Every structure is written in structure tokens, then in C-alpha cells.
Amino acid sequence: MSKLFTGAEIVFKCLEDQGVEFIFGYPGGAVLPIYDELKNHSSLKHILVRHEQGAGHAAEGYARSSGKPGVVLVTSGPGATNVVTALTDAYMDSVPLVCISGQVPTHLIGTDAFQECDTTGITRPCTKHNWLVKDIKDLSKTLHEAFRVATTGRPGPVLVDIPKDIQFAKISYSKPKVKKKLNGKSLNQFSQNQIDELINLMNKSKKPIIYSGGGVINSGPEASEVLRELVELTGFPITSTLQGLGAYPGDDNQFLGMLGMHGTYEANNAMHDCDLLINIGARFDDRITGKIDEFSPKSKKVHIDIDPSSINKIIKVDLSLVGDVKDVLKSINTTLKKKNMNLNKSNKQQISKWWEQIQKWRTKNSLHFKNSDETIKPQHAVQRLYELTKHKDTFITTEVGQHQMWAAQHYKFNKPNRWMTSGGLGTMGYGLPAAVGVQIAHPEKLVVDIAGEASVLMTMQEMSTAVQYNLPIKIFILNNQYMGMVRQWQELLHEKNYSESYSEALPDFIKLAEAYGCKGIMAEKPSELDEKINEMVQFDGPVIFDCRVDPNENCFPMIPSGKPHNQMILGPSKKEENKIIGKGKALV
């Protein structure tokens, strides 16, 4: 008879066979057998967080920056409910997470036992799939299946709930067999005919635009390379969603900047006026489309996505190619090179007028802001941070709000997986724990969380994690004392009724940093900014940087939603165009 292992041992055997190196977790009664077993597995390092939400976001940061699934281990009841926000966040942004939760023993399930909750019931709508393991025989199969579901197709979070008695039960273990069939859920469904049709559309187009998204990042670094090749081959302009930043170099001339609600004037106008729109791994999110009825009215629309349910969900498209972005783009490039040796030239002539138009839009310089010698403008702070860190391979995470948009607008990313932000769910408090996870995956790299003072306080406790593991993360807080985006909307849309958006009694971030055992730096004047940023970058250890910025700055440009892309409002330097009136005001 083969050797018998406990459920807890099997959990580790599965994790080892899956090549897991790090677990982000927090112990508790219902996972004690698993924690007890931890000491016997030196290849797995456990990162002790300070709150289960932090474990989830750290695992997200780890996954998004490394391309590997993040693993979370939490206890039953509050452990599981605390991780729900992170699971939902990962679900919205397609981040592969495997969450293992403890559960009360099977005979107590349904009795309202101590720290019991219906974990699979609670997490059903925020995971790709979840399992309650009621029989030790199912444990290893379920765990391997969990990794497969999390990482294949459109990635996402999964949860495996393991009752405590299952962790003690014994059974033999065998390594996973080759892949189970996919229940007919094959991933690549596109055909050469569709590729040919797309190329035909590309040949005819006079005003094309490529709109790429997080799917390119999820498809792996190779996808970014083939995307770059496609853009070069065609000479088409490209814009990117928030999640897609870095897939195409942010400082390249063919890149129009981010699109959408706070996207650039040129990107949004190009989306509106184009005659061919090629969506690569994005999902027509409402912050991208604005008013649906008037979204890119004159274009043929093509959608490349691995998830068939993304096609025609929001915007009806003329051609859809379901498959892994990398594979679809490779086919396109191969066909382009084979069939259209001269596309390169002819096409670039055909779209030269389009590029002239784009250049005109560019002269609006929509990201412009009025700088100041007295107060630090938040945009200026991000620009300086970029200039002073761009020579390094820097990883940026953010919280959610104005600072997130300024980071997206002013920090230029040249590589995929360098930008971690909560897009779909918009989770304040994401950035700090995400930075912890990124630093774990890339111990030698510079990791900066561009934060807001309100967001960062939501998960500030994870500084303690950073200190414990010597993670030199830099928390760069654009401190305007307001929940800035809330304040901006109240200013523009709710008659400046700043209801509850001002944070009184903020902590002294320098002292807070010191209390956690890390370094605190404060900058108040533009003149000292560079020196202080350099000090932060050079410091070997975690830093909280309190960057005091102009509290009244708003994030522009902006599409008042309910408006089409060509009706953006620009910053205060273009005052005459900056009135939201009548109906538009109602629809932001």
C-alpha cells in the first residue's frame, strides 16, 4: 500500500507540484492543521499579512507582476469574508488567484458553528468556480483542478474550502495526470477565414485604431511583443485601457495614450472618428465607451478576446476572433507578412491623413496642467517620479482615485506587468498590499505604490508585513487631504457640496512610518521634490512618502459619461471649453 498523507500534507504536495513558491495568508482555528504542516515544506514561503484582504491583494500584485497564479490561505468565517473584496477585485480584472480557506469540520457545517460561514455560497459570484471538499478522496483532484481553472482561458480567482476534519483525514497521493478535457470549452475558436477578413478590413481602412487591454498582459510577455510587431507592420495608431498600459511602450509615437473617461483627447477622438476599431483583449468597459449609442459611430468593429461572453456584451461588433490574444496576433502577423508584402507602404500612405488629424488633436496637449512654484501639483509629482525612476525597471501599483488616473496619464510604461492597479472593481486600499506582493515576486526591483492618503489608510496595516519581510516598497502618497475623486465629482456635479470627502485628523505619516519601523519622508515644496524622491528611491527599506499636493487640483481631461468620446472637457487652462452644462452635467 502506498504511503498515506493527511489532508494538510496533500495541500502542500499539490502546491509543490504546481510550482508554488509563496503563500499569502493568515492563520486561524480552521486552518491550523495546514499551518502545522508548513514547517515541513521549505520550498514554500508563507507571507504573513495583517488582514486577509491584504493577502488577497498581495497575491494579486504577485500574480499580475509575475504571470504566475497567486495563492492565498485563510481561515473560516471572518478569514474568508475578509478576502471577498480581493477575490471580487481579481474576478473583475481577470487575475489568477487560488484561495484556500479552512472550514469548520464537516459534521458542524450548517449548525452555525464558531467561525462558520457559507464560504462557497458567499464567494460563488466572485470566483470563476469554487469547491467545498467534503471527502478527502476529492482533495488533490480539486486542488489541481483549481489551479487549472484559475489559469486557463480568461484567468480569475477560485476558492477551495477545506473543512478541518478533511485536513486531518488520511489518503494516498498521486501526482496529477495530464490535462482533463475542457468540457468542450476550447479556447482558440478563430479561423484563418476570420483572420483574412480582418486583414481585408485593415487594407480598406483609412482611419484605423487599435484599442488594447488587459488581455494582452494576461496573454503573457510574448503577446506584447507580437502586439508591437503588429503596430509596426500596420503603422496604425494604438491606444490602451487602464489595465493594458505597458503592453505597448508608453513613449512611442504611435501610442496615443490611455483612452476613456480620463484618457487623452487624441485617443478618445480617434476612437470616435475611426472607421476601423480593433479591440485586442479589452472589454468595452463603461469607463471606456461613454455613451453607448454614440460610441465610435462610424467604425467597423473587431473584437479579439479569449472569453466568448465578452463579445457583443456591450458593443455589437462586426467581426469577433475568440482566442488567446498571443495566438490570434501571431496568426495576423504571419498572414500580413505572407499575403501583404506591400501593406506596409500602401497602408501607411492610406492612413497618412488620419495621422495628420491625430497630430492636430495632439496639439491640444490634453494632459497639460498649470504648474506652480508654490505648491506641488500632483501631476508634476508623478512626472518627477517618472523622470527619476524611468531608468530603472520600476513596478508601479496604485490605489483608486485621482492619483490613480494621474499615475496612468503621466507615468509611461514600456513593459508589460509593470503596472498593477484595481480597474474593474476600483478597490481603494489595493495598492499597498499589491506592492507587497510585487516586491515578493521581484525582490531586487523598485516597487512604488502611487497612493492617495485616503485609500492607503484602508490597508495601511500591511506596512507591518513589508517591515517584517524587509520589503523595500515605497508608498508615494499624493496627499491632498481629500478623497480627491469624490471631491472632484462633488465640485463639478453636486454644486460643491463637499459632503464627507474631506479627511480631518489625518495621521502624521512620518510618525506613522516610524511607528511601523520604516522611513518617513515629507515633501511640501516643488523645489525639494526631486531631492526627496531620490532619497526615497535610494533608501534600502520601506518608505512612506508624504507628498503634500495642491488639494484643489482636478483630474482632466474628462469625458462626462453619457457623452460621446468627442465631447471631452479639458483642464482649466482651456477654461472656455470647460463648462459642463445642462444635460451633460446630469450624465457624468
Partner 1 sequence: MANPKSAYSVSTKKEKTDTHIIVVWVDNEAGVLARVVGLFSGRGYNIESLAVAEVDAKKNISRITIVTTGTPQVIDQIKLQLKKLVPVHKVADFKRNDKSVIFKEMALFKFVGNTNKIKKAVNACKKFNVVILDKTKKSNVIQITALRREIDKMAKNLKKFGLVSVSRTGAVAMTRGDKVFN
Least Å distance, CB 317 to partner 1, is 12
> Of 13, 37, 60, 164, which residue is the catalytic one?
164
Helix spans in 390-525 (H): 402-410, 431-441, 453-456, 463-468, 484-493, 509-516
**52 in active site:** yes
Task: Tell me if 48 contacts partner 1 by CB under 8 A.
Answer: no
**164 in active site:** yes
User: Which residue in 17, 222, 275, 307 binds partner 1 (CB under 8 A)?
Assistant: 307
Task: Tell me if 561 contacts partner 1 by CB under 8 A.
Answer: yes
> Of 271, 460, 485, 536, which residue is the catalytic one?
485
**301 in active site:** no
Least Å distance, CB 186 to partner 1, is 11
Q: Which is nearer to partner 1, 99 or 336 (CB)?
A: 99
From the list 127-135, 210-218, 503-511, 529-537, the region that binds partner 1 by CB under 8 A is 127-135
Task: Tell me if 457 contacts partner 1 by CB under 8 A.
Answer: no
Q: What is the DSSP string of 235-268?
A: ---EEE-TTTTTSS-TTSTTEEEE-STT--HHHH
Least Å distance, CB 53 to partner 1, is 22
Q: Which is nearer to partner 1, 268 or 394 (CB)?
A: 268
Tell whether the torsion through CA atoms of 134, 139, 143 and 146 is positive or negative. negative
Which residues is 398 bridged to in the sheet? 450
Least Å distance, CB 286 to partner 1, is 6
Determine the Cα–Cα distance for residues 421 and 416; give it in Å rounded to an integer: 13
Count of H helices and E strands in the chain?
25, 20
Tell whether the torsion through CA atoms of 493, 496, 497 and 500 is positive or negative. positive
* Interface positions, 145-164, toward partner 1 (CB under 8 A): 149
# residues contacting partner 1 (CB under 8 A): 32
Selection from 581, 482, 462, 476 nearest residue 535 by Cα: 476
User: Which residue in 40, 43, 309, 359 binds partner 1 (CB under 8 A)?
Assistant: 309
Provide φ and ψ at 3, rounded to 5°.
-65, 145
Task: Tell me if 291 contacts partner 1 by CB under 8 A.
Answer: yes
Task: Tell me if 501 contacts partner 1 by CB under 8 A.
Answer: no
**339 in active site:** no
Least Å distance, CB 96 to partner 1, is 15
Task: Tell me if 98 contacts partner 1 by CB under 8 A.
Answer: no
Task: Tell me if 121 contacts partner 1 by CB under 8 A.
Answer: yes
List strands edge to edge, sheet with 319-322: 255-258, 238-240, 208-212, 276-280, 300-305, 319-322
User: Which residue in 170, 204, 206, 316 binds partner 1 (CB under 8 A)?
Assistant: 316
* Interface positions, 179-238, toward partner 1 (CB under 8 A): 183-185
Do 148 and 160 meet the contact criterion of CB atoms below 8 Å apart?
no
Task: Tell me if 499 contacts partner 1 by CB under 8 A.
Answer: no
Give the angle 395-445-454 at the CA atoms, nearest 5°. 45
> Of 12, 13, 24, 52, which residue is the catalytic one?
52
Tell whether the torsion through CA atoms of 215, 221, 222 and 227 is positive or negative. positive
Q: Which is nearer to partner 1, 305 or 399 (CB)?
A: 305
Q: Which is nearer to partner 1, 307 or 387 (CB)?
A: 307
> Of 16, 45, 114, 192, which residue is the catalytic one?
114
Do 152 and 220 meet the contact criterion of CB atoms below 8 Å apart?
no
Determine the Cα–Cα distance for residues 313 and 330; give it in Å rounded to an integer: 25
C-alpha grid cell for residue 265? 483627447
Q: Which is nearer to partner 1, 275 or 294 (CB)?
A: 294
Cβ-in-10-Å burial (0-12, 13-18, 19+) of 373 comes to exposed
C-alpha grid cell for residue 201? 478590413
Task: Tell me if 580 contacts partner 1 by CB under 8 A.
Answer: no
10 Å Cβ neighbour count for 147?
Answer: 22
Which residues of the chain form contacts with partner 1 (CB under 8 A)?
A: 120-121, 124-125, 128-129, 132, 134, 149, 183-185, 286, 291-293, 307-309, 311-313, 316, 489, 493-494, 561-562, 585-588
Mind telling me the catalytic residues?
A: 52, 114-115, 164, 485
